[in-house]
Structure 1
């Protein structure tokens, strides 16, 4: 059973009614972030029930020593952990000497939580009766500022409903936190100092091993019935925590409120000895603006994001809510303003997976950021990989490859591989191909070739050298084979000749040779610089061509399909339709041995190749492979349904495409995989965007031209989206009768719609 407690709403995620069993799931779903930091939707006040407390700072991590039963040569030394940072959000609330705690209150009613995605804030309200009989109404609203991205703000009020009462607010900073995800229960933080100045408080801390210096800070103001209130605090302080205590006497019906400002300054952005000074500057700005003005700034900042990124859907509220939820969390996680950051698979919503960068960025996220931001944001993501090239070469050396071969990591923070499962670390080498494909995809979409001579060709050469060395000549087949791999489908480990891996390896070799020739011809000075560094020879290029030309692909003549890997047809081919529902998800019900022997596919694998290289295959070939592999796919990876949705749209199977769309867009909202309490699936959210724009909208770049084949699910009245194509914004509106195109730009743009050229002019509607 999927969860279904989130109330359908076009612009908000809403939960009504308090249920202790939902607390951890809601902490994930209602998470907030601003690209520089983020936090799970933990309660501000004390909560003694099951909870996953989490606050995170972008780019700050801990190298947790790898924990394995049997060490193998080439293993990463550590698994990079997303760090649970010192917390600034806490406010203990004490009413007539009793702590407000929803886990222990006699009654909780009128509970409502809302994440307003349009304006970028989280609110909560409820009425609670404490064991001492006092009944209170509580309202809170908080946000992490997009404009001042080191600052968060909370407004929290308590109204006494049935008696007079003394209410105490205790805002605090807490450095004594631990990670949910830890290999050895190491101490991740070294608390350097806990200090205060007037009513500002600071905890300076440094990460163990990596040495990131941070300052967590807070300051609060108060009102009684909307009138400013000055209260002198009592201060409590320890080696890891500081709290201020503010007390007020309330008559029945009075409302006592606190506005708390907090956040982080980090030595990634400031001198490590100036972090407290920087924090004071942030707090002064917060006090100068005030909560109301800061909230207005927040609404304006989100309005600008939505103006470009929004996708509207008419006639299907759950589908509309789903896509906006995905777009919202992508923007909370990464805004493209810091080229040293990337898009973590859990963002700021949890700690599972560790690392900040997976192949998800290149395979799924890049198209979203190319089309909804400007091309510099997408280029930052490519430059991130260029700056990690030396580490990728080191990673390949650890596996025994040399002469400049590069293996990009499956999981990384700084370019080093830091994943500690051998079947991923050593075998899921297809990630190299996604990085090369992203370079191709960026040029195809933006028309900006400059990245390739400036940086990208060196990356491509390193990747091509790896594929050349990783392929093995098979005398028996008179072909080059790639042995001992795991493809995107992680339910097959250590198999030979994964079709997707072999295909993208061949393509990488061919594409790199093509780019070498183009740079040599058109950018001779860049080529000379690269040649002096990489020392490419004609003999080496001839080797690459031999491997590419003679790459082996498993194929079955009778079925007329490429096999996912050499042994796929040896399996007992029972389809998912015949798999009992109580056995799902199999990764939580079955042994790993049983999964590996089964035909079940975790995520699009062969079909992932058909998605990337659609132009290499006919629609009939796609249909044949889709019909064979889809019945065995359990979609237990968040990255799977979007690819199937796009391909079902291509095949004009709109019912199926819509079903897959709903699954990808509401994967977390409806908790399909029963794991949302661990955090959200951020990177697959970009796939949701693709399933509308590339799937239903049929957007492609063909022959240097923007093309569309619009389709619409039968239960939608209309949908619309915008794409920024080479600095011209194309607005596409599709309904059941027609498609309307509108252009924001300086010059006409010729696009292709259903294989016909259409010219659109700025600020004129074109109806197809």
Structure 2
């Protein structure tokens, strides 16, 4: 049964009514982020019930030693863990000596929590009766500033309802944190110093092994009924044991400032808490506390209300370009905005050292900050909704890690500058821990090159290929040339022992998608080599000199591509997902007992691997990437064959099927897939939302509307649209930034409208016909 407590609302994620069973799910769904840091929607006050505490800093990680039963040559030495960072949001609350804790209160009523996506704020309110009989009303609001991305702000208010009360606020910092996800229960953080300066406090800590230095900070202001007051404070500290195993020492890891005052019945006692992180990613280690003081002073000087207004203004700018409106279907509207909101919280594009982790700032599962999801799903979203430099930054991220990709390939025995990009990484090194993924899910390598092609096709920017991209293309082509094996029996090149996008098939031969993207990469590399040789002679000389690339090697790429083998069924007239697929018992998903779903939680791996069930679009992923290479009739035939076996237990799957169903004019089916991808987390389809959100697949949700229903493509350097609309919708609209011009698309039942905000006239294709958009005068 799916989650049903989230209220349909076009701009907010709303929970009403107190239910402890929803706490961890809501902590995920209402997570906050600003591209530089993020946090789950944990309560500010103490909570002794089941909770998943999580605060995260972009780019900061720990190399958790790999935990496997037996070692394999070339195996990654560590799994890069997204670290639960020192907490700055905590505010302990006592009323007449009784601790405020929703888990232990006598009663809780009027509980409401709202993630306001328009403004990027998290609001919570409730009434509670404590064990000592005092009734209180609590309101809390917080946000992570887009304008000052090292700072967040909290406004926390409490009002005694049935009597006067002595109330204590104890805002605190705590570096004595642990990860939910840890292989060996290592200590990830080591606290270096705990200091305070009047109403401010600081904890400086560093990560073990990676030695990232971070100062966690806070500063507070107090109010009674809106009037600022000054209270004396008590200094609170706690200790925990930290240090290397065998050398642990008792260390101060907590600092709190206790403020006590008498509050009359009906009066409101409020604290404004400003906090956040300053790290050595952006400041010198020795200057962290100074930098913290400066940024806190900036926040305090602005004040909570001015910071909140700046937050609203910043999000208004984001939504002005990225919003998709849907009229007539609130759940669909809520779903797409939730996806767009979380993508913008995770990655803003201002720092090319960062990327889009699969859980973003919402949880620790999967680890790493980068998967092939970025290149396959996310780049189109960022290209179209932001300046093209943002997408270029994502490509630059991979170029900067090319040496590591060559090193990764070398560990597996590849030579001559062959590059294998990692399945999971923080710094370019492979750190995924499952052999069937790490060694075998090599199709990811092709997505690096496809993203370069996709970027050039959309933006028209060839300079990336000249300056950086060709070196990546060469490294990947070398990998595919060496990874392919010539089969005398087939008189073709085969690719053996792989895992395709469908991870419910491991160690198979000739996965069609893997073979196809390898062939395409080799052909693309050959074509780009010819272009550079003919048109960019100086750059070509530089690149061939650096990579030691010869003409004979380039010819070998073309020869291998031309002789690539693809499994095919004459009986069904379709390409087969891999060799031997038809040996399976071909029972379709609709024949599965619903009690057996999801199969990844109900079945053994042995049973899954022998089944025909497809975790995510695999062969159809290739038909999505390389749509222009196949006819609509071929797509239809393959869609009809593979969709009935697809269980969509990967978050990356429904969006591809939504786009293809729309292309095939199967709008009811496309709409169902759209709802599934857009509300995957909101409705908890995979029954795992409490572990965090599926951030990267959210870009696929955007594609479901823009590429699926809007039919947007780039054909012959022109934007092309084939608009369609689900029956449930009255209309929808979106904007895309195409080569510096913002095109607005509005689709209704009986007409589609295209407009420009500014710039020159633009020729586009609509249902194959040329038309010119002009700027309204």
CA distance in 2, matches of 1:541, 1:283: 56
1:716 aligns with 729
2:204 aligns with 204
2:190 aligns with 190
CA distance in 1, matches of 2:776, 2:566: 49
What do the CA deviations read for 1:378-434 (whole angstroms, capped 9, x no partner)? Answer: 000000000000000000000100100000000000000000100010000000011
1:343 aligns with 356
2:616 aligns with 603
1:89 aligns with 89
* Counterpart secondary structure, 1:458: helix
* Counterpart secondary structure, 1:193: strand
CA distance in 1, matches of 2:642, 2:401: 36
CA distance in 1, matches of 2:439, 2:331: 41
Contact 1:62-1:82 within 8 A present in 2 as well: yes
RMSD: 0.6
2:52 aligns with 52
> Aligned-pair distance for 1:762?
1.4
1:36 aligns with 36
Query: Which of 513, 516, 521 is matched with 2:526 structurally?
Result: 513
* Counterpart secondary structure, 1:290: helix
Q: 2:678 aligned with 1:672, yes or no?
A: no
Query: Which of 458, 480, 488 is matched with 1:475 structurally?
Result: 488
What do the CA deviations read for 1:314-336 (whole angstroms, capped 9, x no partner)? Answer: 00000000000000000000000
1:245 aligns with 258
1:685 aligns with 698
What do the CA deviations read for 1:554-585 (whole angstroms, capped 9, x no partner)? Answer: 00111100000001100001100000100000
> Aligned-pair distance for 1:745?
3.0
Q: 2:559 aligned with 1:546, yes or no?
A: yes
1:235 aligns with 235
Q: 2:766 aligned with 1:756, yes or no?
A: no
Contact 1:427-1:484 within 8 A present in 2 as well: yes
1:23 aligns with 23
Residue correspondence of structure 1 range 52-201 to structure 2 within 5 A: 52-201=52-201
CA distance in 1, matches of 2:353, 2:148: 19
CA distance in 1, matches of 2:547, 2:412: 20
> Aligned-pair distance for 1:156?
0.2
1:429 aligns with 442
* Counterpart secondary structure, 1:180: coil
Contact 2:174-2:254 within 8 A present in 1 as well: yes
CA distance in 1, matches of 2:4, 2:509: 42
Contact 1:727-1:745 within 8 A present in 2 as well: no
CA distance in 2, matches of 1:251, 1:300: 36
Contact 1:194-1:202 within 8 A present in 2 as well: yes
Q: 2:270 aligned with 1:257, yes or no?
A: yes
CA distance in 2, matches of 1:542, 1:338: 38
1:567 aligns with 580
Query: Which of 432, 444, 450 is matched with 2:463 structurally?
Result: 450
1:463 aligns with 476
Aligned residue-pair number: 764
2:597 aligns with 584
Q: 2:293 aligned with 1:280, yes or no?
A: yes
CA distance in 1, matches of 2:33, 2:554: 47
CA distance in 2, matches of 1:650, 1:678: 34
Structure 2 unaligned segments of length 5 or more: list them.
Answer: 239-251
Query: Which of 390, 393, 401 is matched with 1:388 structurally?
Result: 401
CA distance in 2, matches of 1:341, 1:226: 40
Q: 2:321 aligned with 1:321, yes or no?
A: no
CA distance in 1, matches of 2:369, 2:269: 41
Contact 1:433-1:505 within 8 A present in 2 as well: yes
Q: 2:452 aligned with 1:415, yes or no?
A: no
CA distance in 2, matches of 1:107, 1:567: 60
CA distance in 2, matches of 1:251, 1:747: 64
Contact 1:319-1:665 within 8 A present in 2 as well: yes
> Aligned-pair distance for 1:449?
0.3
CA distance in 2, matches of 1:252, 1:327: 43
> Aligned-pair distance for 1:198?
1.1
Contact 1:310-1:721 within 8 A present in 2 as well: yes
Residue correspondence of structure 1 range 733-752 to structure 2 within 5 A: 733-752=746-765
1:215 aligns with 215
1:533 aligns with 546
> Aligned-pair distance for 1:437?
0.2
CA distance in 2, matches of 1:670, 1:34: 24
What do the CA deviations read for 1:150-194 (whole angstroms, capped 9, x no partner)? Answer: 000000000000011111000000000000111000000110001
2:741 aligns with 728
> Aligned-pair distance for 1:744?
2.2
* Counterpart secondary structure, 2:7: coil
Runs of 4+ in 1 over 4 A off after TM superposition: none
Contact 1:190-1:207 within 8 A present in 2 as well: yes
CA distance in 2, matches of 1:621, 1:646: 15
What do the CA deviations read for 1:694-745 (whole angstroms, capped 9, x no partner)? Answer: 0000000011110000000011000000000000000000000100110123
> Aligned-pair distance for 1:763?
2.3
CA distance in 2, matches of 1:430, 1:22: 38
CA distance in 1, matches of 2:83, 2:626: 38
Q: 2:713 aligned with 1:700, yes or no?
A: yes
Q: 2:369 aligned with 1:360, yes or no?
A: no
CA distance in 1, matches of 2:735, 2:46: 43
CA distance in 1, matches of 2:121, 2:591: 45
Contact 2:745-2:753 within 8 A present in 1 as well: yes
Contact 1:118-1:302 within 8 A present in 2 as well: yes
> Aligned-pair distance for 1:539?
1.6
Contact 2:526-2:555 within 8 A present in 1 as well: no
> Aligned-pair distance for 1:746?
1.6
* Counterpart secondary structure, 2:513: helix
What do the CA deviations read for 1:323-361 (whole angstroms, capped 9, x no partner)? Answer: 000000000000000011000000000000000000000
CA distance in 1, matches of 2:592, 2:776: 53
CA distance in 2, matches of 1:136, 1:506: 67
CA distance in 1, matches of 2:561, 2:440: 20
Contact 2:202-2:216 within 8 A present in 1 as well: yes
1:622 aligns with 635
Contact 1:173-1:216 within 8 A present in 2 as well: yes
* Counterpart secondary structure, 1:691: helix
CA distance in 2, matches of 1:728, 1:745: 7
Q: 2:513 aligned with 1:500, yes or no?
A: yes
CA distance in 1, matches of 2:300, 2:369: 33
1:524 aligns with 537
> Aligned-pair distance for 1:594?
0.4
CA distance in 2, matches of 1:614, 1:175: 51
CA distance in 1, matches of 2:635, 2:4: 34
2:247 aligns with none
CA distance in 1, matches of 2:229, 2:610: 68
CA distance in 1, matches of 2:391, 2:45: 40
Contact 1:480-1:550 within 8 A present in 2 as well: yes
* Counterpart secondary structure, 2:6: coil
The alignment's TM-score, normalised by the length of structure 1, stands at: 0.99
* Counterpart secondary structure, 2:306: helix
> Aligned-pair distance for 1:535?
1.5
Query: Which of 291, 304, 308 is matched with 2:317 structurally?
Result: 304
1:652 aligns with 665
